[in-house]
A = this chain, B = another copy of it.
Amino acid sequence: MRLPRSTRSLLFAVACAAPLPAEEGMWLPRQMPALASELKALGYTGDAAAFADLTGFPLGAVVSLGGCSASFVSPDGLIVTNHHCVQGQLQFNSRPDRNLMVDGFLAPDRAGELPGGPGSRVFVTVAVEDVTAAVTGNIPTEVTGRAYFDLLERRQKELTAAREREPGYRCTVTSFFEGLQYLAVTQLEIRDVRLVYAPAAGIGNFGGETDNWQWPRHTGDFAFLRAYVGPDGRPAAPAPANVPFRPRHWLKVSAAGASPGELVFVAGYPGRTARFPSFATIRETVEFSLPRLLRRYPEQIALLERVGAEDPETALRVSTRIRGLHNTLTKTRGVEAAMVRGGVLAQKEAAERQLLAWIEADPTRQAEYGHAIPGIGALQAERARLRERNLLLGEFAGAGTALGAAETLHRLAIEAAKPDTERDPQFQERNWPRLREGLERLQRNLDRRADRALLAYHLESIAKLPAEARLTVLDRLVGLAPGQEPAAATAAIAAWVERHVSASRLYERDFRLGLFAQDPAALAAAADPLLQVAAALFPEQEQVRTEAKDYSGRLARLSPVHAAAVLAQAGGRVAPDANGTLRVTYGTVKGVESRDGLFYLPQTSLRGVAAKATGQGDFRAPAAQLAAIRALRAGTASPYVDPRLKDVPVNFLSNVDTTGGNSGSPTLNARGELVGLLFDGTYDTVASDYFHDRERTRSIHCDSRYLLWVLTAVERADELLRELTLAP
C-alpha cells in the first residue's frame, strides 16, 4: 500500500492537535480529550477525558441495540431507547386482536415483561483497539484488486476470532477514514432482551409520517427494555431462569430536562455518513442512486399498501416494512432537495476543487495524493455500466421475501462446506445464530401476498433491461427476452411468481429453519421451487460478488490516500465518518431560522400536543393523555412544568451532529444526567450525512420531563418510576 508518509502523524493529530475550530463531529471517544478547550468554551466544567473511557461513566451506560442506540437507566438492566426502536419487539408480541404497535404495553411486573423475540440484542462496548498495522501493514504495493481485498478480509477475520475466544463477546474490525485506520471494537452481546414499556402509537409515534423530519414536533419517542443474562452473570439465550443484567454504570433520568442555551452531549452508535468520499462518489449518489430510490420506493409502498388493504394479517406483516420505506423515502427527498436545489452538491464540488488545488500547489503532496481522486473517478465510471442490472438482481433475491430466505439457505449450504476461516464473513459460524434468528424473525413479515407483488415488481424491471445487460438465468427461468411484448412479459411473470410463491414451503417457520446449515444435496432434496431458483441464480450472483471484491480491493488502495489528503488539508482534527461505532457529539439546545422568515423555537410543549390531537390519522393522542393535559390546565401541579414555558416540555432542538443509528441515544447534560432522548433531525439536516451545515442542522430530542410526565400522569407507571428512583 502506498500509504502517505504523513498518515501516522495525522492520525496522531486527530487525538492531540492544538485547539482548532471543531464545529462538527460524531467524535470517537478517544478524540474527546483533545476537545477539552472547545467544551470549556461552551461552559463545560467536567473532565473531557471521562468521555474517552468506554467502561467508565457515562459511556459505560451507553449501548447499541444493533441499529439503534440506548442506555442503562437502572442498576437492574433497565434500558431506555426510542419507541421506534422497539417496533420489532412490539410487532413480535402483536396479534390482529392485540396490536401493541397501536396500543402500547406496560409490563405489570418483571414476570410480565415480554420476550423481545429472535434477534433482540444489547451490545455493550468494552474495548476499542487500533489494529491498522495488523490489517494493512506489510503488503507489497503490487497486491491490489481481489487479492488485496481477500488479504484484508482474512486479517480482519483473524483479529476478530482472537477477540471472540471468550464467549459472550462480539468483535468487529471496522474501517475509519476510508480505510486509513482500522479499529477492533469488542462488545458484550446480551441476547435476552425483554419489553418493559412502550407508549401507545398516539404518544410514541404521534405525528407519524406527517411529522417525520419535521418541526414543531410532539413525539413521545421513548420505550423501555430490560437486559437479562444467565444466573452466572454472562450473556445467555433467552430463558426464564435468567436474571437482570447489572451494568457497572447507568444514567440518572433528570427531572429538569434540558433548556435553551444548555450544553448537551449525545452518545450513541450513528450508522453511516459519507462526508469523506470524493465528489465523484457523492455525485453518483445524487445523480443515480437517489433518483432511483425516489422512483422505486413510492411504487413499493403503494404495492405493499394495496396488498395490506386486501387482508388485515398481511397489513400487520407489511406495516414495519412500509414504515421503514416511508422513513427512507422522506429522508431521501430531503437529501435530494438539499443536494440539488440547496446547493450541497455544489459545496462538495467546491470543497474538492480546493483540495485539488491544495494538492497541486506542492510537488510532495502531488506525489503523495495526486493519483487518488482521478483514480477513484475512473473506478466509479467503470462500475456504472452494469449497476442497474446488479442492483435489480440483488433486490430480486434480497432480504424480506421467501426468495431472500432461499438465497441465504443456499449460500450457507455452499459456504458451510468450506473451512470456517475461508468462508464469507457473513457466513462464518460466529454469525450462524443471527442468520438463524433472522430466518426465524422473518416470520413476522413474511407474507405470500406481499412476496407475489414484490417479486413481480422486481421482475417487471428486470424484463426491461437492455439486451447488453440481461440477467440470462432469469430470462430463461421466467421466459423473458429483450424486446418482448410488455403484455407477454407481464403474463409470464405473473404465472411464474404465482407458481413459485404458492408452491414454496419457505413460508413455514419449521420448514425454513429445518433447512438451516444443511448441505446442497439436502436442499435439493427439499424440492422447494424458490430454493431451486436460488440455486440457479447462485453462479451469476457469485460473479457479481467477485467483481465487487475486485473493485473494493482497488478502491481500498485509493480511498485511504484521499482521506489522508483531506485530513492533512484540514490540519488533522476531524471526526471520521459514522460507521456504527460508539461516538460522542456535543452542542447546545437552540432553535434555528429554518427558512427566511421562519424560526424553529427550541422547545415544544403539551399545548402543541393538544392542538395537533385531531383524533385523525397520525394525531390520535390517547384519551388518558388528553385528560391529563386538561387536568394540568385546570391547575393540577406537576414537577415537570417548565417555569418559562408554563407547560411540560415535549421535544427540543439542539445542534448536536447525529444520523440514523443514533436513534434512542441518551442526551446528557454537563453532569452526565439523561435529559432527553435523541430521535430525529429536522428536514434541513438530512443532507448533513454528506456535507455538514452546523448553522442549520438540528437534531430533535424528546425531553426527559415529557417521558416522566407521561409515566406519571398518563400511565401511572409507579413501579417503573420507582425503579428510575423517582417516586410517583
Interface, chain A (partner B; CB < 8 A) = 215-218, 341, 591, 593, 595-601, 603-605, 607-608, 611, 614, 651
Which residues of B sit under 8 angstroms from A605, Cβ to Cβ? 596-597
Q: Are A597 and B600 in contact (CB under 8 A)?
A: yes
Would you list 14 pairs from A and B whose C-beta atoms are within 8 A, ordered by A residue? A215-B598, A216-B595, A216-B597, A216-B598, A218-B596, A218-B597, A595-B608, A596-B605, A596-B608, A596-B611, A597-B605, A597-B608, A598-B600, A599-B601
Q: Are B598 and A598 in contact (CB under 8 A)?
A: yes
Bound CA–CA A593/B596 (angstroms) = 15
Which residues of B sit under 8 angstroms from A217, Cβ to Cβ? 597
CB distance from A373 to the nearest CB of B (A): 30
Bound CA–CA A598/B214 (angstroms) = 11
Bound CA–CA A218/B604 (angstroms) = 27
Bound CA–CA A215/B595 (angstroms) = 10
Bound CA–CA A591/B596 (angstroms) = 13
Bound CA–CA A611/B595 (angstroms) = 9
CB distance from A182 to the nearest CB of B (A): 42
7 additional A-B pairs beyond A216-B595, A596-B604, beta carbons within 8 Å, are A215-B597, A218-B596, A593-B601, A595-B608, A597-B601, A597-B605, A598-B599
Q: Are B608 and A216 in contact (CB under 8 A)?
A: no
Q: Residue among A215, A597, A605, A614 with the most chain B CB within 10 A?
A: A597
Which residues of B sit under 8 angstroms from A608, Cβ to Cβ? 595-597
Which residues of B sit under 8 angstroms from A614, Cβ to Cβ? 341
Partner of A596, one of B341, B595, B607: B607
Bound CA–CA A339/B597 (angstroms) = 27
Partner of A601, one of B598, B603, B604, B611: B598
Residue of B nearest to A614 (CB): B341
Which residues of B sit under 8 angstroms from A595, Cβ to Cβ? 216, 608, 611
Bound CA–CA A462/B444 (angstroms) = 54
Partner of A597, one of B341, B597, B604: B604
Residue of B nearest to A217 (CB): B597
Residue of B nearest to A342 (CB): B611
Bound CA–CA A341/B615 (angstroms) = 11
CB distance from A206 to the nearest CB of B (A): 13
Which residues of B sit under 8 angstroms from A341, Cβ to Cβ? 614
CB distance from A647 to the nearest CB of B (A): 8
Bound CA–CA A603/B598 (angstroms) = 9
CB distance from A490 to the nearest CB of B (A): 31
Which residues of B sit under 8 angstroms from A216, Cβ to Cβ? 595-598
Q: Residue among A593, A595, A600 with the most chain B CB within 10 A?
A: A595
CB distance from A593 to the nearest CB of B (A): 7
Q: Residue among A596, A605, A608 with the most chain B CB within 10 A?
A: A596
Q: Are B611 and A603 in contact (CB under 8 A)?
A: no
Bound CA–CA A218/B611 (angstroms) = 27
Residue of B nearest to A647 (CB): B596
Residue of B nearest to A343 (CB): B611
Bound CA–CA A217/B598 (angstroms) = 10
Bound CA–CA A608/B593 (angstroms) = 11
Bound CA–CA A217/B597 (angstroms) = 8
Residue of B nearest to A604 (CB): B597
Partner of A603, one of B591, B597, B651: B597
Bound CA–CA A215/B216 (angstroms) = 15
CB distance from A605 to the nearest CB of B (A): 6
5 pairs of A and B residues whose beta carbons are closest in the complex = A596-B608, A216-B597, A597-B604, A599-B599, A216-B598
CB distance from A137 to the nearest CB of B (A): 50
Residue of B nearest to A593 (CB): B601
CB distance from A176 to the nearest CB of B (A): 36
Bound CA–CA A487/B218 (angstroms) = 50
Bound CA–CA A601/B593 (angstroms) = 9
CB distance from A609 to the nearest CB of B (A): 8
CB distance from A709 to the nearest CB of B (A): 15
CB distance from A341 to the nearest CB of B (A): 7
Bound CA–CA A218/B596 (angstroms) = 9
Which residues of B sit under 8 angstroms from A597, Cβ to Cβ? 215-218, 600-601, 603-605, 608, 651
CB distance from A439 to the nearest CB of B (A): 44
CB distance from A531 to the nearest CB of B (A): 50
Which residues of B sit under 8 angstroms from A593, Cβ to Cβ? 601
Bound CA–CA A56/B576 (angstroms) = 71
Bound CA–CA A552/B603 (angstroms) = 52
Which residues of B sit under 8 angstroms from A651, Cβ to Cβ? 597
Residue of B nearest to A651 (CB): B597
Which residues of B sit under 8 angstroms from A215, Cβ to Cβ? 597-598
Bound CA–CA A596/B600 (angstroms) = 10
Bound CA–CA A608/B596 (angstroms) = 5
Which residues of B sit under 8 angstroms from A591, Cβ to Cβ? 599
Which residues of B sit under 8 angstroms from A604, Cβ to Cβ? 596-597
Bound CA–CA A215/B591 (angstroms) = 18
Which residues of B sit under 8 angstroms from A599, Cβ to Cβ? 591, 598-601
Residue of B nearest to A594 (CB): B598
Bound CA–CA A600/B598 (angstroms) = 5
CB distance from A331 to the nearest CB of B (A): 20
Which residues of B sit under 8 angstroms from A598, Cβ to Cβ? 215-216, 598-601
CB distance from A333 to the nearest CB of B (A): 14
Bound CA–CA A595/B599 (angstroms) = 11
CB distance from A607 to the nearest CB of B (A): 5
CB distance from A641 to the nearest CB of B (A): 15
Which residues of B sit under 8 angstroms from A601, Cβ to Cβ? 593, 597-599
Which residues of B sit under 8 angstroms from A607, Cβ to Cβ? 596
Residue of B nearest to A613 (CB): B341
Bound CA–CA A375/B597 (angstroms) = 48
CB distance from A85 to the nearest CB of B (A): 24
Bound CA–CA A598/B614 (angstroms) = 19
Bound CA–CA A600/B593 (angstroms) = 10
